[in-house]
Amino acid sequence: MVSKGPLLRLLTAINRRRMKLLVGLAFVAYVACESLQENGDQKVESKIEEVSLTAVAVCSVLKSPFTQKYPPVKFLSEKDRKRILITGGAGFVGSHLTDKLMMDGHEVTVVDNFFTGRKRNVEHWIGHENFELINHDVVEPLYIEVDQIYHLASPASPPNYMYNPIKTLKTNTIGTLNMLGLAKRVGARLLLASTSEVYGDPEVHPQNEDYWGHVNPIGPRACYDEGKRVAETMCYAYMKQEGVEVRVARIFNTFGPRMHMNDGRVVSNFILQALQGEPLTVYGPGTQTRAFQYVSDLVNGLVALMNSNVSSPVNLGNPEEHTILEFAQLIKKLVGSGSEIQFLSEAQDDPQKRKPDIRKAKLLLGWEPVVPLEEGLNKAIHYFRKELEYQANNQYIPKPKPARMKKGRTRHN
């Protein structure tokens, strides 16, 4: 009797379904022939049983790669199920939003050019009947039938949006025009992922939605800040002139699993430094405050806003402020790291405070962040630890990059 082991391993290694089937059938036929040619005193039934067992083993190998398990998905009736487009859906926030909307039972199409997003972020949905992934740049027009558009496509962290400022501008301007044009054509509602950066270097604290901002239109961050400001302007022009339903979320700093290793912001920098046993670098005395929301809170806020009747801009962020030094000490403790905290000279334009005013979201959406900071940080640390292992296996250890450069100096974000 021929050994099944090597052939079953061969079947497992073959990727193409039809090829796998052919090799499997050829193998079963071979085993059957071989059995019949062997000495005739063995009973025919035992031969049949032997061939059947081989066939069952082959079938299980044939089936195994195609029985992918997906996270649980609710059933929604035709009436309640929406066709939802998420631009930038393979990125940090977009992939979590994809998870929520898929699990809620909607049909989700992710459009991404993979500039900062990764297929890995949404690979667990690939092949699901409600899910589609399209490699597309929003700077080019898109023709698709949808009910809602979450427009998130845009690099978000300073090193990424400063990498190619012209492309950042095109994505936020031409890309937003294209998505608004699509919304107008198909009668879809569009939610723009705007940012707290529209407030620039704010003169009021905390920032509420009525504040017009304080942005340098020709500074290094203008490609992003002004890009988002004009994207907001475009939304309201389409609303007033064409009757497109728009929602505008002004998102404040967000963290969680799937954020970029080289994001350059304080949470990811500190976690990476602590995990790699390097000093946690604090600029200035560390008394500046920052507020971070956990990604699941943001996703719930985005969905609540999209499905509300609030068309004016809404801040989504966590108002719980901590000093940079507190963040460093907490992350060091949660990682269990022996890293020291290193104080470097203070950056000139480092804001002393950043905090959202979320009274509008509370009042009109009934939304507020609920994930405690430590709980969120532990999830992010777990993710970064796994990512470092993954990267180490691929011989690449990322180092945190300086957050923002102005006059040649870094600053906290």
Ligand X SMILES: NC(=O)c1ccc[n+]([C@@H]2O[C@H](COP(=O)([O-])OP(=O)(O)OC[C@H]3O[C@@H](n4cnc5c(N)ncnc54)[C@H](O)[C@@H]3O)[C@@H](O)[C@H]2O)c1
d(CA 65, CA 17): 9
Task: Report residue 277 as tokens.
Answer: 């046993």
Least separation in angstroms between residue 330's CB and ligand X is: 19
Question: Which of 256, 362, 264 has its CA nearest to residue 299?
Answer: 256
Phi then psi dihedrals of residue 402, to 5 deg: -60, 145
From 150, 161, 199, 224, active-site residue: 224
* By the rule CB under 6 A, 152 interacts with ligand X: yes
Question: Which of 1, 66, 7, 80 has its CA nearest to residue 39?
Answer: 1
* By the rule CB under 6 A, 113 interacts with ligand X: yes
* By the rule CB under 6 A, 94 interacts with ligand X: yes
For ligand X, give the closer residue by CB, 81 or 205: 205
Least separation in angstroms between residue 129's CB and ligand X is: 23
Which stretch, 11-19, 26-34, 247-255, 393-401, contacts ligand X (CB under 6 A)? 247-255
Task: Report residue 346 as tokens.
Answer: 């203070």
Interface with ligand X (CB under 6 A), residue from 171, 176, 178, 273: 171
* By the rule CB under 6 A, 93 interacts with ligand X: yes
* By the rule CB under 6 A, 91 interacts with ligand X: yes
Interface with ligand X (CB under 6 A), residue from 112, 209, 225, 387: 112
For ligand X, give the closer residue by CB, 30 or 212: 212
Please report the sign of the dihedral spanned by the C-alpha atoms of residue 213, residue 218, residue 224, residue 227: positive
Per residue, what are the HEC states of 142-163? CCCCCCEEEECCCCCCHHHHHH
Query: Which secondary-structure segment (H or E) carries 19?
Result: helix 17-37
Distances (CA, A) of 161 to 43, 80, 220, 221, 377: 74, 37, 10, 8, 25
Query: Which secondary-structure segment (H or E) carries 232?
Result: helix 222-242
Specify the DSSP class assigned to residue 277.
T
* By the rule CB under 6 A, 90 interacts with ligand X: yes
Interface with ligand X (CB under 6 A), residue from 27, 92, 131, 238: 92
For ligand X, give the closer residue by CB, 171 or 269: 171
Which stretch, 56-64, 137-145, 209-217, 340-348, contacts ligand X (CB under 6 A)? 137-145
Interface with ligand X (CB under 6 A), residue from 102, 153, 261, 302: 153
Which stretch, 30-38, 113-121, 177-185, 373-381, contacts ligand X (CB under 6 A)? 113-121
CB 286 within 8 A of CB 323: yes
For ligand X, give the closer residue by CB, 318 or 339: 318
CB atoms within 10 A of CB 142: 19
Specify the DSSP class assigned to residue 162.
H
Interface with ligand X (CB under 6 A), residue from 254, 273, 296, 318: 254
* By the rule CB under 6 A, 114 interacts with ligand X: yes
* By the rule CB under 6 A, 257 interacts with ligand X: no
* By the rule CB under 6 A, 137 interacts with ligand X: yes
CB 157 within 8 A of CB 93: no
Phi then psi dihedrals of residue 359, to 5 deg: -60, -35
* By the rule CB under 6 A, 299 interacts with ligand X: no
Distances (CA, A) of 372 to 8, 248, 367: 49, 25, 15
Taking CB under 6 A as the rule, which mask of x and - marks residues 302-331 in contact with ligand X? ------------------------------
CB 93 within 8 A of CB 193: yes
Interface with ligand X (CB under 6 A), residue from 57, 138, 183, 291: 138
d(CA 92, CA 71): 18
* By the rule CB under 6 A, 195 interacts with ligand X: yes
294 belongs to the catalytic site: no
Task: Report residue 135 as tokens.
Answer: 């490699």
Task: Report residue 167 as tokens.
Answer: 């492309």
Which stretch, 149-157, 212-220, 274-282, 319-327, contacts ligand X (CB under 6 A)? 149-157
* By the rule CB under 6 A, 130 interacts with ligand X: no
- Total binding residues toward ligand X, as defined by CB under 6 A: 29
Interface residues toward ligand X, by CB under 6 A: 87-88, 90-94, 112-117, 137-139, 152-156, 160, 171, 175, 193, 195, 251, 253-254
Residues annotated as catalytic (active site), given as ranges:
224
